[in-house]
Amino acid sequence: MAVIDRRPGIRPRASLGRRLDVIARVGFPACMTVLLMLLTQAPLEIPEQAALLPAVSLCCVWFWSLFRPDNLPPPVVFLIGLFMDLLGYLPPGVGIFTLLAVQALALAMRRSLARRGFIWVWGVFAGVAVAAALVIWLLTMLLTFRVLLPYPAVFIAALSIAIFPILAVPFAAAHRSVADPDQA
Task: Give the model's pLDDT for residue 81.
Answer: 96
In one letter, which amino acid is 83?
F
Task: Give the model's pLDDT for residue 2.
Answer: 56
Q: Which of 61, 62, 156, 56 is nearest to 118 (CA)?
A: 62
Domain total in the chain: 1
- Domain region containing 68: 3-183
Task: Give the model's pLDDT for residue 158.
Answer: 97
Question: Residue 41 belongs to a domain with what CATH number?
Answer: 1.10.1760
Q: Is the pTM of this model over 0.85?
A: yes
Residue 3 clears pLDDT 70, i.e. is over it: no
Q: Which of 165, 85, 92, 151 is nearest to 123 (CA)?
A: 165
CB burial of 75-111 (b: ≥16 within 10 Å; e: otherwise) equals ebbbebbebbbebbebeeebbbbbbbbbbebbeebee
Instruction: Work out the number of other CB atoms within 10 angstroms of the CB of residue 58.
Output: 28
Give CA–CA dist 95/75, Å, rounded.
Answer: 13
Model confidence at 184, pLDDT cuts 50, 70, 90, reads low
CA 26 centroid distance within chain: 14
Q: Which of 133, 100, 105 is nearest to 121 (CA)?
A: 105
- 10 Å CB burial of residue 179 (0-12, 13-18, 19+) is buried
Mean pLDDT across the chain, nearest whole number?
A: 90
